[in-house]
A and B are shown apart, each in its own frame.
Chain A
Amino acid sequence: MGQHTVTSFDEDLNAIDRLVHDMGDLAADMVVASTRSLVETDAVLAQRVISDDAIMDARQRELDDRAITLIAKRQPVAQDLRAVVGAIRMAADLERIGDLAKNISKRVSAVGEGSAPRSLSHSIDAMAQSVVAQVHEVIAAYEGRDSEKLKLLRAADENIDIQYTRVFRELLTYMMEDPRNITTCTHLLFCAKNLERIGDHVTNIAEDAYYVMTGMQLPLYRPKADETSVAD
């Protein structure tokens, strides 16, 4: 894509784009750190995630300010308009991802107190790996302007939903086996739900990024495999 005749327009757009990247990197870090702190019950790491969320919020506010100023000043159209509006929406999703990661980290202490069986967090760990991979990939795809990959990413969310269903059932089984696990398992269940939500936000980001790049909306229909809401 060529340069704008007005170079400061490009600078403004680039600044917003950089902020999206930064927030993406930060969100990915937070998700990685929060799952590690959960799996390894690392309270220090968990604390770092909680404090990172403040940075995330500040970034989002900065991005909103810049985006609104740019719209007021430049009245962007077409791809520029899509880029700005897309950035606002992606930033909102990334901020939510940050919140969810913080929420997971907050539960680390609670999970740690109960003597949770190591095996309990194994399936969550696997699910977390998938979510982290999704987060990394959506950021990479956005940076690389790879719209095909974004389409695939959205499809890949199905796997996370399946994994979530599996974790849900597994935790349910543990709780039935031993009622002492209920507290821990409920916390873990919330963590799993948070991870699943992160996956949904990644899907949103992928859809936004796709629209920013191509100007077309992805079809509304998308395979949904989260059966927990309807199951039982």
Chain B
Amino acid sequence: MHMPTDKIVPQSDLYSRESTTARTPDENPLPVRVKARDVSVFYGQKQALFDVSIDVPEKSVTAFIGPSGCGKSTFLRCLNRMNDTIEGCRVSGLIALDGSDIYDPSLDPVELRARVGMVFQKPNPFPKSIYENVAYGPRIHGLARSRSDMDAIVESSLQKAGLWSEVKDRLHEAGTGLSGGQQQRLCIARAIAVSPEVILMDEPCSALDPIATARIEELIDELRQNYTIVIVTHSMQQAARVSQRTAFFHLGNLVEEGPTDLIFTSPVEKRTQDYITGRYG
């Protein structure tokens, strides 16, 4: 795979572009993993996203916030081409993972999704055993050479998801029998079992209680050491707690993006300010 130069020169063209988005760069910018330029999404005739350009830095958490229907989930789903599965959905613009266009016709979305994992809003383990849930991804991608290989992958994935000690004695019980928070961590283990480079999380805590939420947040913070994480959340507090950069979407536009500390103390845009302080609408 070729190594594009814009991975090494971070946030190269983003700040010189003409755009309605208010941007604040990091003081010490990290290399860019995912690069989006002028991404628009249409559902049939309706445009859901308008010329979104953003860089997602590696080994950090980028949070997308915004009111319902603002396009943040839509954009997230563009990053692993989950939108392909929706009838009548059209994506324009450029999204590059490590410098290569993910919408290139020669790229198989199946391969892309092995590199860009996803965790969903509702914990959705397969109606199979805990072991099978984690082993499924490596199995279909042929990542384990032997049974002991697979056992090792399952164990380390569950370890990383902080679930191993809770389930190691019942790996062959149904994954759906776990509590909500455990199920979500199982889904995270399932996602990291295929060793993705990027993990997308679509409101991963919205169905969980505060304790389970705290555990997931702790986990996200740990996973940041090795993965690039993009999280969509409705909880401003959560975005403030777990992310390093925050992007605010409104009515399909990327209104503002910048370091989380700045967004939550002194945002540049009035719309951002109104939203995060609860003056929206």
Contact of A2 among B237, B240, B274 (CB under 8 A): B274
Query: Does A216 interact with chain B (Cβ within 8 Å)?
Result: yes
A5 touches B276 (CB 8 A): no
Chain B contacts of A6 at CB under 8 A? 278
Q: What's the nearest-Cβ distance from chain A to residue B242, in Å?
A: 15
Q: What's the nearest-Cβ distance from chain B to residue A99, in Å?
A: 30
Q: What's the nearest-Cβ distance from chain B to residue A76, in Å?
A: 7
Q: A4-B279, A5-B281, A77-B265 are known contacts; what are 20 more A-B pairs with Cβ within 8 Å? A: A1-B279, A2-B274, A4-B278, A5-B278, A5-B279, A77-B240, A77-B264, A77-B276, A77-B277, A78-B265, A78-B267, A78-B273, A78-B277, A79-B277, A80-B277, A80-B278, A81-B264, A81-B265, A82-B265, A216-B266
Interface size class of B (residues with CB under 8 A): 10 to 19
Sort A-B residue pairs by CB-CB distance and give the 3 closest, nearest first.
A215-B266, A2-B279, A77-B264
Q: Smallest CB-CB separation from B264: which chain A residue?
A: A77
Q: Smallest CB-CB separation from A217: which chain B residue?
A: B266
Query: Does B236 interact with chain A (Cβ within 8 Å)?
Result: yes
Highest count of chain B CB atoms <10 Å: which of A1, A75, A77, A216: A77
Query: Does A9 interact with chain B (Cβ within 8 Å)?
Result: yes
Q: With A78-B267, A82-B265 given, is the CB distance from A4 to B237 under 8 Å?
A: no
Given the complex of chains A and B, what is the CA–CA distance between A1 and B278 in angstroms? Answer: 12
User: Chain A residues in contact with chain B, CB under 8 A?
Assistant: 1-6, 9, 75-82, 214-216
Q: Smallest CB-CB separation from B262: which chain A residue?
A: A215
Given the complex of chains A and B, what is the CA–CA distance between A6 and B277 in angstroms? Answer: 10
Q: What's the nearest-Cβ distance from chain A to residue B46, in Å?
A: 27
Q: What's the nearest-Cβ distance from chain B to residue A106, in Å?
A: 41
Encoded as 1 (CB less than 8 Å from any A CB) or 0, chain B from 24 to 44 comes to: 000000000000000000000
Query: Does B280 interact with chain A (Cβ within 8 Å)?
Result: yes
A-B contact pairs, 18 of them (CB 8 A): A1-B279, A2-B274, A2-B279, A3-B279, A5-B278, A5-B280, A9-B278, A75-B237, A77-B236, A77-B264, A78-B266, A78-B267, A78-B276, A78-B277, A81-B265, A82-B266, A215-B266, A215-B267
Given the complex of chains A and B, what is the CA–CA distance between A79 and B277 in angstroms? Answer: 7
Chain A contacts of B274 at CB under 8 A? 2
Given the complex of chains A and B, what is the CA–CA distance between A91 and B267 in angstroms? Answer: 25
Given the complex of chains A and B, what is the CA–CA distance between A2 and B280 in angstroms? Answer: 8
Chain A contacts of B278 at CB under 8 A? 4-6, 9, 80
Q: Smallest CB-CB separation from A9: which chain B residue?
A: B278
Given the complex of chains A and B, what is the CA–CA distance between A3 and B274 in angstroms? Answer: 9
Chain A contacts of B237 at CB under 8 A? 75
Chain A contacts of B264 at CB under 8 A? 77-78, 81
Q: Smallest CB-CB separation from B281: which chain A residue?
A: A5
Given the complex of chains A and B, what is the CA–CA distance between A81 and B264 in angstroms? Answer: 9
